């Protein structure tokens, strides 16, 4: 529980960083289904927090921790993805799946190789141009 409170506290402090970056998603979907096997969560930093999220939101039980990236961020995958890369429960998929990808995100994620989307960093100078 302490880890969860600490994470919320650090998330709150991150809103006061002097130079903020924003991230924009560009590109198009290749309909390969790889995104379902390589997901990030900006709110989950540890395996313990992930278990808590699964208790609070039972629909998250469809996900499992697949790996960690080079920065230690958890990488998630969906248990309902078929070998062809399609959702086996497409009709009942979560809102986050229906809305993927968000055009703007508040963290720098890494997308899998071959994804049609890419994360572009937008700095203050970019908006001034």
pLDDT at 6: 81
pTM: predicted TM-score of the whole model, two decimal places = 0.61
* pLDDT (0 to 100) of residue 12: 79
pLDDT at 33: 81
Mean pLDDT of the chain: 80
The pLDDT assigned to 22 comes to: 74
User: Angle 47-56/2-13 helices, nearest 10 degrees?
Assistant: 100
Give the model's pLDDT for residue 21. Answer: 66
Name the domain count of the chain.
1
Q: Quote the percentage of the chain above a pLDDT of 70.
A: 81
CB 36 within 8 A of CB 85: yes
Residue 120: pLDDT band (50, 70, 90) is: confident
Full domain range(s) for residue 113: 2-128
Buried b (16+ CB within 10 A) or exposed e, 20-46: eeebebeeeeeeebbbbebbbbeebbe
For position 99, what pLDDT does the model report? 81
Q: Which tokens in the block code for residue 117?
A: 């989307």
Q: Residue 86's closest CA among 37, 40, 39?
A: 37
Buried b (16+ CB within 10 A) or exposed e, 83-100: eeeebeeeeebeeebeee
Share of the chain above pLDDT 90, in %: 16
Strand partners, 3: none
Q: Distance between CA atoms of 23 and 36, rounded to whole angstroms?
A: 20
Provide the pLDDT for residue 127: 53
């Amino acid at each position: 529980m302490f880890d969860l409170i600490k994470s919320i506290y650090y998330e709150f402090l991150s809103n006061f960083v002097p130079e903020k970056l924003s991230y924009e998603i560009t590109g198009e979907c290749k309909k390969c289904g790889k995104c379902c096997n390589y997901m990030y969560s900006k709110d989950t930093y540890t395996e313990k927090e992930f278990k808590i999220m699964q208790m609070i939101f039972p629909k998250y039980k469809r996900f499992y921790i697949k790996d960690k990236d080079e920065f230690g961020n958890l990488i998630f995958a969906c248990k309902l993805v078929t070998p062809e890369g399609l959702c086996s429960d497409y009709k009942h998929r979560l809102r986050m799946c229906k809305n993927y990808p968000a055009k703007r995100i508040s963290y720098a994620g890494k997308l899998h190789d071959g994804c049609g989307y890419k994360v572009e960093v937008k700095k203050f100078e970019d908006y001034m141009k």
